[in-house]
Structure 1
């Protein structure tokens, strides 16, 4: 037990040192309403928590009704290795806003440190790249001769890496992560314009599950994103969500994002392996007069090779 505690302290100490070694400056990462089921995108330590080979795909259409509104598609996979303490993962994300396109590919590595009989800590590393393109000359602007909109930012390739920690039991979890530690900049081929590539976001997530009766469970969750830079305009953002699990088959809940939006979430669980989720957001700022909401669809599937019966579905 003492050895496990020392490993935890050492691991978290290394994580804190790595995070503190960098400063930040860049663009916002995509947000997801179903973050509690899509944690691997922001935290590499989440890989392996399913204890099975798992796939997850999600599509998000933001501010529907607007031409060029943001669309995001993400796919992830996680798998434990024969050494049960080690798990690997992969995240692929395609994000488009107007003519601006970002394509991410990141691999995840996580290592399990048992804390107690019922509690585990996973420490994770994330590494990969972002491919960015933006046809500046195709924009309609007031001054056609503006050199800032000459040329194109095409296939700019930038590597990056991140770290994370995830402490969890069957009924509760808390995670801390920085999925992109390195600040990057993309420049056009005329060398007259540049955009910030990745912004260092600090993510803190937490959740717990409580019995509300024989067939109902309640899961409150919290998602915090911080950037601590002047470029973002919103240095700290909170998502507060409450979901009810009905008869171990159906999740239903609501979400509130500070200063931005509120929404509703539903997820169906089939045979303890297949999950299909849907979420809709409505903005609370000036965009509400022009947007028809944000829609998000998620599907996940687990491959379980062991024959023992799963008593209850996982809660996160």
Structure 2
């Protein structure tokens, strides 16, 4: 293949990527739904910080690698008591049925946060940086509805040095767009009570053209919106063990709808194990340990079930969580889920 033709084929492939799923996927999203839904900003009474790394399809050269850091907190100096942002008393079991039976909704309040996600696949890297805000409305004595928005920028870069060409100075490269910055906007709703949650969210909803060349024959790419529907419910097995089944439906046209089903089993909120199934894609095993009121650590491994399992060694994801200014000494990561 002539070098110029190779460049054109590369641009066609990049254009096809630009019209498919463009945001990274996560196995542990259910324990950090804030990554997907800005309406969770400030849902806790402490500053919730998480740092994660995901290596997808290990064994495949240039497969996706994702790093992220998120932080969100409740605005205001007052600590809320016996509500969605706190637990009953210092040292009390956060999984206690009594807490659930005496649960009261959080008073109306504001929350904000920041997210930064770096995703790299082959020669393409993407950095999404956002500031988020949410308002938590008290609908009833035991029910809250939060509305949130994420505003920021997306930087998409193409590393032309990663393209293997017969002629490194091929004139086709003169038309290459190696870096582009796009505005970003996401919206979300989150309904939550003592034992359930449900949410809807949309990411990158501002229409944007996305092209890696100035050649008009290969600039049909565009950013597409990502939509998420999530729900979960807590079931008590006994006073010390709780199970939380949940589901997420993701829609990113023109790719098929993705469905995730999850189950987490928590032991006195100190140790938990779980499993996840993504339709036509993978099974996952998850484990987490709340080391102290400050630090928690989680890990997941995906067993690929698609045709990629012939060349992939699965997917690894690890997340470190910090709970800053945790005055109630809560062990739980994201309180209930």
For normalisation by structure 2, the TM-score amounts to 0.78
Residue in structure 1 matched with residue 233 of structure 2 by the alignment: 208
Measure the CA separation in 1 of the matches of 2:147 and 2:295: 27
Shift of 1:242: 0.7
Shift of 1:54: 1.4
Task: Give the direction of change, closer, same or farther, for the CA distance of 1:141–1:185 in structure 2 (3 Å limit).
Answer: farther
- The count of residues paired between Structure 1 and Structure 2 equals 288
Residue in structure 1 matched with residue 183 of structure 2 by the alignment: 159
Task: Give the direction of change, closer, same or farther, for the CA distance of 1:99–1:218 in structure 2 (3 Å limit).
Answer: same
Q: Which runs of 5 or more residues in structure 2 are unaligned?
A: 1-17, 78-107
Tell me if the contact between 1:44 and 1:179 (Cα under 8 Å) persists in the aligned partners.
Answer: no
Tell me if the contact between 1:25 and 1:200 (Cα under 8 Å) persists in the aligned partners.
Answer: no
Residue in structure 2 matched with residue 17 of structure 1 by the alignment: none
State the secondary structure of the residue aligned to 2:207.
Answer: coil
Shift of 1:26: 5.4
Measure the CA separation in 2 of the matches of 1:175 and 1:257: 19
Higher relative contact order (CA 8 A, sep 6+): 2
Is 1:304 matched up with 2:325? yes
State the secondary structure of the residue aligned to 2:140.
Answer: coil
Task: Give the direction of change, closer, same or farther, for the CA distance of 1:312–1:264 in structure 2 (3 Å limit).
Answer: closer
Measure the CA separation in 2 of the matches of 1:96 and 1:199: 18
Q: Which runs of 5 or more residues in structure 1 are unaligned?
A: 1-23
For normalisation by structure 1, the TM-score amounts to 0.83
Tell me if the contact between 1:136 and 1:153 (Cα under 8 Å) persists in the aligned partners.
Answer: no
Shift of 1:194: 3.6
Shift of 1:312: 6.4
State the secondary structure of the residue aligned to 1:253.
Answer: strand
Residue in structure 2 matched with residue 177 of structure 1 by the alignment: 201
Task: Give the direction of change, closer, same or farther, for the CA distance of 1:159–1:206 in structure 2 (3 Å limit).
Answer: same
Tell me if the contact between 2:213 and 2:219 (Cα under 8 Å) persists in the aligned partners.
Answer: no
Residue in structure 1 matched with residue 300 of structure 2 by the alignment: 279
In the TM superposition, what whole-angstrom CA distance separates every residue of 1:110-135 from its partner, at most 9, and x where no partner exists?
Answer: 00110122211110011111100113
Shift of 1:145: 11
